[in-house]
A and B are shown apart, each in its own frame.
Chain A
Amino acid sequence: MNLETRLGRLTVRNPVLGASGCCGHGYELAPYVDLRCFGAVSLKTVTAESRKGNRPERVAEVPSGILSSIGLQNPGKEAFFEQVMPKVQAALDPGQIIVSIGGNSVEDYVALCRETEARFGSSVAALEINAACPNVTHGAGFFSRDPQAAYELVRSVRQAVDLPVLVKLNTNFEAFLEAGCAMEEAGADALYTTNTPLGMKIDIKTGRPALGNGRGPICGPAIRPIGVMRTWDLYKRVKIPIVATGGIACWEDAVEYLMAGATAIGVGSIQFSVPDAAEHILRGLEAYLEREGVKDLSGLVGAAHKT
Chain B
Amino acid sequence: MRAILQEIRPVTDRDTLYVFDCPGIAAAARPGQFVEVKLTDTTDPYLRRPISIFDADGERWVSLLVRTVGKGTQAMTRWEPGREVDLLGPLGKGFSWAEEENNFLLVGGGIGLAPMGLLVRRLRQEGKTFRLLFTPKREEQLPAGLALFSGVEIAYACNRGEIPRRLEEQLTAPTDRVFACGPEGLLETVAATAAARGVASQVSMERRMGCGIGLCVGCAVAVRTEDGFVYRKACQDGPVFAGEEVLFHES
Contacts and interface: CB of A to CB of B under 8 A. Distances in A.
Contacts of B36: 273
B43 A66 contact: no
Contacts of A44: 217
Contact of B47 (A55, A73, A273): A273
B210 A59 contact: yes
Interface string A32-56: 1000000000001000000011111
A290 interface: no
Chain B interface SS verdict (over half): loop
B46 A61 contact: yes
A274 B208 CA distance: 17
A272 B214 contact: no
Interface in A263-281: 269-275
Q: Which of A44, A58, A60, A62 has the most CB of B within 10 A?
A: A58
Given A57-B207, A57-B208, A32 B213 contact: yes
Interface residues of A, number: 38
Nearest to A27: B214
A21 B210 CA distance: 12
Interface in B12-64: 36, 38, 43-48
Interface string A8-25: 000000000000011110
Contacts of A73: 217, 220, 231
Contacts of A65: 46
Chain A interface SS verdict (over half): loop
A23 B215 CA distance: 5
A128 B182 CA distance: 42
Q: Which of A22, A28, A32, A64 has the most CB of B within 10 A?
A: A28
Nearest to B222: A56
- The 7 A-B pairs at the shortest CB distance, nearest first, are namely A59-B218, A272-B211, A28-B214, A24-B215, A59-B210, A58-B218, A64-B44
Interface of B: 36, 38, 43-48, 88, 207-221, 230-231, 250-251
